[in-house]
Amino acid sequence: MKKLRNLCIAIIALVGLSGSAFAQTNSGITPAIGTEHGYWVNANAAGAGFTTGYPTGNTYLWYVTKGDLTSPAPATDVTIGEFATGDPAYVDATTAVVDLYRIKLTWLAPSATSTYYLHIIETSADDCSNHKVEIINPFSDFQLAIANVAVADLTTAAADDLKVCAPDVALSLGGGGAVEYNYGTTALYYKVDATNIDTENYVLGYNIDVNDAFTGTVTATYSTDGGTNYSALVNYVDATDVTQSITNTANASSVIIRVELANGTTFEGITSHDVTVKLVSGAQGVALATIPTDLADKQKKQDVPARPSTSGIGSN
């Protein structure tokens, strides 16, 4: 059997590369949580085919251990799959596969801060084998960002000083024919983007501060489907740091926070008021989010300008 060449590592980052708070680089040996990387042996550059002249037909057994060279890594920490369409299928940590010289691993949230060992055992037709190991230290590059958005476009960031007028006054005739005024509900929208996470749920820490000038009813909800459906932010308390578990199914997640100010028939809105939403924390298992340090980036405010203080209609 020819000597097994040193284990090479490729980076196939399906999530944008970035450094963590500790300036770590997302790579095969220091992968960021939620990113996918390719690993191979006996291959040309970037894992593109066997090294010229290297024999085919050998079997390859890939597996990952955690903390030492023998303890299997839990499936919740890392997933293993095919490097490219058409490659032999990876089976499991005990099944050797013919010509499976390259694989892809996705590092999940529980793997952050632990040390892992990627093993490859190659066995020839003569039943002779060789065993190589690569040390891998995943890290969390979980990032949270917030932006104002407008109801007409919940995707594109709006101005930091976004102003949203209260709705037009609705009129109706009450008992005895008197005119009644309903000042409607003002809805404000904020988008929170989470990146470099895996596909599990995460916990968002936030603070919603409604200006004391507003004396109506506040309702805070959130959407994970781009603003189609909303659920209550059940822990919301005004101007208080609280958390919300966010259902997540992708390596990046956008959450729309909607704050509704119900003016009703009593709050005319002739005094201006505002609402500030601040990022407090984020956690996906042991992976903790990096929050912007600049206050202007970690929180966003929207202003509701005062209505004209129009007097009653006079006559002569």
Phi, psi of 93 (to 5 degrees): -75, 0
Which residues, 6+ apart, have CB-to-CB distance to 24 below 8 Å? 30, 32, 139, 141
Confidence (pLDDT) at 23: 53
Q: How many residues does the chain have?
A: 316
pLDDT band, residue 64 (cuts 50/70/90): very high
Under 8 Å between Cβ of 44 and 52: yes
pLDDT band, residue 200 (cuts 50/70/90): confident
- Among 127, 133, 125, 122, smallest CA distance to 4 is for 122
pLDDT band, residue 3 (cuts 50/70/90): very low
Say if residue 52's pLDDT is above 70. yes
Domains of the chain in start order, with CATH, are 8-136 (no CATH), 143-304 (2.60.40)
Confidence (pLDDT) at 7: 52
The tens digit of pLDDT for each residue in 228-282 reads 999 999 999 999 999 999 998 877 789 999 999 999 999 999 999 999 999 999 9
Q: What pTM was estimated for this model as a whole?
A: 0.77
- Among 312, 299, 305, smallest CA distance to 274 is for 305
Specify burial of residue 176 (Cβ count, 10 A radius: 0-12, 13-18, 19+): exposed
Distance CA(140)–CA(285), nearest Å, equals: 10
Average pLDDT over residues 199-213: 95
Which residues, 6+ apart, have CB-to-CB distance to 284 below 8 Å? 33, 109, 140, 142, 197, 198, 200, 201, 202, 203, 248
Say if residue 18's pLDDT is above 60. no
Tokens representing 93?
Answer: 């940590």
Of 19-23, 46-50, 57-61, 125-129, the poorest mean pLDDT is in 19-23
